[in-house]
Structure 1
């Protein structure tokens, strides 16, 4: 027992050393082709076997679920809080096309592709797979979003889309998981639509109430100089989880609530919300590192073990035909050049949201072909981390030379 405890301590020490090393050399790493997701996915994969030997499986399962829920709540709240309605009025057409047309098209095309490649899973599993693999991750496209060579219209569009699509796709993930689970258990679908509708309706209501109330209270505290600067980040974290818990109490979906609360908070709060950015760049980055490390250590090995030609084909099609095709169709008539449409279509990397959705739904639901879903997500995210991470800087420079 002592030997196992010492083994776990050494693994944890190696992980903390990696966190420190990355932070120390972060500026130099940002100038290279390496990215945070690439580094910590590979590190996690290297530590997969030592980690499994050092801790019981139930402890690892409970830990990854807790990490997934915490990270997903904060990411949804933080991403949504940065989307300002006032700015969207000036540059809303491209993001609106990609979110209102491109996102449903991605889910529709993804469902069709998955069902055609793997029909034995059924339509419900195809829908669930498509929904989980639709949201994009701005962390994998930082080389594009922050590159001054990229036209502001394109970088802002990628930023807004990645900030909103993970929250907008949540109802589809929930619906797919419920239908797939009900089909497996051969359960009656009576009340299924009602339960899903209840979660989708009450979740936003909890988010609206929490986001607006906390914003008003913070404005009042700021105006009267009652709140210390260090406490602003505490309010941000507490507000995100308050929305989640309130929704769960009244029967809504907590993740949808966190997303809506962030959007309402960001647009109701009258002062600078710099503390959200500061938190996500500090403590939030540790959660991001941990999530990609957990993906590499606990999901990727299982995904690769169950990978097949079908899962590889699905992964490649989601990163190319499904994503690029859906965005291309959504941007028809927008006036963009062909290279710009392809650029926006390609930079829809799959990452944190897909990982976290998979961890959460696999813990909450039982459905058929879990191993194949895990393999599809693992292959898609791993390929995306490598392909988008390595291509972001070169393509950003190329698009800037128009």
Structure 2
């Protein structure tokens, strides 16, 4: 295992030295780290048992922290007042994606119950900003469009998680009624998680502002406190049978809207250490999950994945933006650039143990195959399509969309830090 870790360290160093050059091409970080993990799996340098155990640890830590920090950067008041596109994609588009995805998956998954198809659709609904990084950082794309994609991907994983847990509980109740009352368990997870998270986030934000006003803390220590708050919300929710991931997301939402951008760490961590966590998780997915998932990829599973990417999300987003000022090309652009990433794989890992073994393994393989296929397809199209779209919108009806919106929440100044 030591040799494998050394190889990973050297690979990461090489990537960081070439990151800016690679960002202008088709080889994105998720593609490279998933691919490197898959190659390492074939060499045997990483024992499979160690890789799978490490994946669960890294995946949980990454999900807790990234859910908290993504939510903490969302200004709910601004989202309601000035960001019609992402709001409609979240409130209308996300449920539509689950409904349409269920209708598509149900006949393909027969004779499995329709609830399994609903769970599969919910797992494939969240999108990942990490896989769409080449789009949301590309200046050729209008700022309003980039911001809408960033907002949507930052919020939709937290909004999809309760739906996934609900369907998982219903499937567990249906398949194993004599073992555990999964429906009651799911209800407690969905109720107590947000309550605990909201309380910790709101109280933590008030205490944070009080300490900052009295100059009792510093920028470095503030960051440690934010991470501890995310962990605390997760652990506290677990103690009362709530869902820790939902708690971390809601805690970040309340914390961020109380402090209103007065924590530079939230932005800096997301852009630095948060990237490292995501890369590590992608590597471990490629190492521990992709080989088995690829071995079980069949025509039925591939059809569900490609339909989700090419039909389900584009149709859901198009319908959700009907009646807005979004141009037809913009709707198509939003519909395509909804890559499946960490949330899809990690949520599948989260619920697999609650399900019948055969169903759980199938859904996990479905989710993992969706992630690497999405990483490849969206990765190779991100730069060329972004440039083409930006050029078309600047020439045609996109003049109104090219305008720069005031930031949702300005990054802290040096004095605030």
TM-score range, shorter chain: over 0.9
* Map of 1:309 onto structure 2: 299
Q: Say whether the 8 Å CA contact 1:181–1:368 is kept in structure 2.
A: no
CA shift, 1:25, in A, is 2.2
* Map of 1:25 onto structure 2: 18
Question: Is residue 2:53 matched to residue 1:67?
Answer: no
Question: Is residue 2:38 matched to residue 1:38?
Answer: no
* Match runs of 1:279-318 below 5 Å: 279-318=269-308
TM-score (norm 1): 0.93
CA shift, 1:368, in A, is 3.4
CA shift, 1:380, in A, is 1.5
Structure 2 CA distance, aligned partners of 1:42 and 1:350? 16
SS at match of 2:111: helix
Residues 183 and 364 of structure 1: CA distance in aligned 2, closer, same or farther (over 3 Å) = closer
* Map of 1:244 onto structure 2: 234
Structure 2 CA distance, aligned partners of 1:271 and 1:259? 17
Consecutive unaligned residues of structure 1, counting only runs of 5 or more, are 1-7
* Match runs of 1:97-136 below 5 Å: 97-136=88-127
Consecutive unaligned residues of structure 2, counting only runs of 5 or more, are 394-417
Question: Is residue 2:325 matched to residue 1:335?
Answer: yes
TM-score (norm 2): 0.90
CA shift, 1:168, in A, is 0.5
* Match runs of 1:2-401 below 5 Å: 8-51=1-44, 54-55=46-47, 57=49, 59-187=50-178, 192-270=182-260, 272-401=262-391
Structure 2 CA distance, aligned partners of 1:372 and 1:250? 30
* Map of 2:398 onto structure 1: none
CA shift, 1:311, in A, is 0.5
Structure 2 CA distance, aligned partners of 1:155 and 1:303? 32
Higher helix residue share: 1
Residues 221 and 135 of structure 1: CA distance in aligned 2, closer, same or farther (over 3 Å) = same
CA shift, 1:222, in A, is 1.3
Structure 2 CA distance, aligned partners of 1:196 and 1:377? 21
Structure 2 CA distance, aligned partners of 1:363 and 1:127? 18
Structure 2 CA distance, aligned partners of 1:363 and 1:188? 13
SS at match of 2:314: helix
RMSD: 1.8
Q: Say whether the 8 Å CA contact 1:292–1:352 is kept in structure 2.
A: yes
Q: Say whether the 8 Å CA contact 2:169–2:183 is kept in structure 1.
A: no
Structure 1 CA distance, aligned partners of 2:184 and 2:349? 25
Q: Say whether the 8 Å CA contact 1:121–1:368 is kept in structure 2.
A: no
Aligned length: 392
CA shift, 1:375, in A, is 2.8
CA shift, 1:54, in A, is 4.2
Q: Say whether the 8 Å CA contact 1:11–1:50 is kept in structure 2.
A: no
